[in-house]
Amino acid sequence: MFAIRNSENRKVIQKEKTCWVVNLGLVPYAEGYDFQLKLVQARKAGAIPDVLLLCEHPHVITLGRNGRREHLLASDNLLAQMNVEFHLSDRGGDITYHGPGQIVGYPILDLTEHKRDVRWYVEQLEEVMIGATAEFGLSAKRVEGQHGVWLDTKAPAEKLGALGVHLSRWVTSHGFAYNVSTDLRYFDLIVPCGIAGKRATSLERALGRQVNAEKAERHFIAHFGEIFGRSMISVPLKDLRNELDGFQSFGVSSIENRDSVAVGAAKGSEV
C-alpha cells in the first residue's frame, strides 16, 4: 500500500519514490480517459503513488483544446466506414491519431514531488521517447518550436512520437503516443498535430523490420523510471482498481477540474 488511512480517516503517506506501471491493453479511448480521471483524483488525495498507464486504442482521432476542426480531413461518413472514432479532448495540442501498434502512455504524476514546471515535464517526456528510440540504434530529436520527437529522413523530419498533456493542481494526465508498428495511412485523415507538410513515421518503418512491442515497452518503462527518478513497479490492473475502490469508499469520488491547464503536442500550444 502507498497510502493508508487511520481511524480518523487521515492519510498516512509512505515516502517511497515509486511509480506503478499498469498495462490496460487495447482499451477504447473514452474508457481510458474516464480511468485517468479517477486516478487523477486519487493521486491528488495521496491515495496512490505516481502511475504510468500503458495502452493501445482502437482507431480514434482526438482534437485537443488548441486544435482546429479543419485539421480533420475526413468526413463523418468516411470515419464511420473506416471504423474510426472522433473525440474532443482536454489535453493540449491539436489533432492526432491513435491506433493499434502505438505505445500510448498516460503518466499520472504529482509534479509537486518532482518539479513544478510544465515545460520541464514536457521535455522529460520527450527524453523518455528519445532514450527508448536510441535502444534501437536510432537518433530521435526535438524540432525547435514543435513538440514531440522526430527522425531525420530523406524528406523533411518525420514525427515518431507525439505528446499532449493536461495538468490539474500539478497532477498530470494524458501523455504521449509513440508509433511502433502503426498503420501510418490513418494519419492521412488529419493534418498531424496541425502542422502542414509534416508526416508521421514509425519505428518499424525507420528500421525496415518488425519490432517486438513488449521489448519497446520495456525500454520505455526503464527510461521513464531513470528520467523521473522512480522505481518502476508492475501492478496488475485488478490491484489498481481495488485501490481505487477503497479510495472511493471514503466518499471521495467526484472529479475536480479546477485550476487546470492543458499543454502539449503542437506548435502554438500552451507550453
- Going along the chain, which residue ranges are E strands? 3-5, 11-13, 18-26, 50-56, 60-63, 85-88, 95-98, 102-108, 141-143, 146-151, 158-168, 171-179, 231-234, 260-263
- Active-site choice (40, 51, 52, 193): 193
**What is the grid cell recorded at 99?**
491506433
**What is the grid cell recorded at 5?**
488511512
3-state secondary structure of 112: helix
Concerning whether 193 is annotated as a catalytic residue, the answer is: yes
Name the one residue in this structure whose C-alpha cell is 509534416.
198
C-alpha pair distances (Å), 259 with each of 166, 197, 252: 11, 35, 18
For the annotated catalytic residues, the residue numbers are 193
